[in-house]
Amino acid sequence: MRLGEVRVAEDKDFQDLSSLVDNQDDWRLEYCNSATRVWTKDMGNDEKMIKVTTRCPDVEAATVFDVLNDTGYRRHWDKHMIAGSSLGCLNPNNEICYYAVSCPAPLRNRDLILQRSWLDTGREFYLLTHSVSHQLYPPRKGYVRALNYLTGFVVRPVSAQGCEVHYVAHTNPGGQLPGWLTNKVTQVLAPKMVKRLRKACVAYPAWKRRHDVDFKPWIYPEQMPSERLDVAMCNRNPLDECLPPVDESEIQESDFAESNLLNAEDE
Tens-digit pLDDT profile for residues 22-33 = 999 999 999 999
> What distance, in Å, lies between the first and last C-alpha atoms of the chain?
35
pLDDT value at residue 180: 76
Q: How far is CA 17 from the centre of its chain?
A: 14
> Rounded distance, CA 167 to CA 190, Å?
10
Tens-digit pLDDT profile for residues 147-158 = 999 999 999 999
Report the pLDDT averaged over residues 87-95.
Answer: 94
119 beta partners: 126
Domains of the chain: 11-209 (3.30.530.20)
H runs (alpha helix) in 23-169: 61-69, 71-77
- Identify the band that residue 20 occupies on the pLDDT scale cut at 50, 70 and 90: very high
Average pLDDT, the chain: 90
pLDDT value at residue 259: 55
- Identify the band that residue 264 occupies on the pLDDT scale cut at 50, 70 and 90: very low
Report the pLDDT averaged over residues 245-252.
Answer: 81
Helix, strand, or coil (residue 180): helix
Tens-digit pLDDT profile for residues 41-83 = 999 877 889 999 999 999 999 999 999 999 999 999 998 899 9
More confident residue, 95 or 226: 95
At residue 159, what is the residue type? S
Report the pLDDT averaged over residues 204-214.
Answer: 97
Reported as half-sphere exposure (CB side, CA atoms, 13 A), residue 67 has a value of: 25
pLDDT value at residue 267: 44
- Identify the band that residue 179 occupies on the pLDDT scale cut at 50, 70 and 90: confident
Tens-digit pLDDT profile for residues 180-195 = 776 677 667 888 889 9
Peptide bond into 106 cis (omega under 30): yes
pLDDT value at residue 257: 57
pLDDT value at residue 263: 53
Q: Is the per-residue pLDDT at 260 higher than 60?
A: no
C-alpha angle 54/198/74, rounded to 5°? 125
> Rounded distance, CA 55 to CA 72, Å?
25
pLDDT value at residue 227: 75
Report which secondary-structure segment, H or E, holds 210.
Answer: none
Q: What is the pTM of this model?
A: 0.91
Task: Say if residues 51 and 27 touch (Cβ distance below 8 Å).
Answer: yes
pLDDT value at residue 258: 52
Report the pLDDT averaged over residues 196-218.
Answer: 96
> Rounded distance, CA 115 to CA 9, Å?
10
Q: Is the per-residue pLDDT at 11 higher than 80?
A: yes
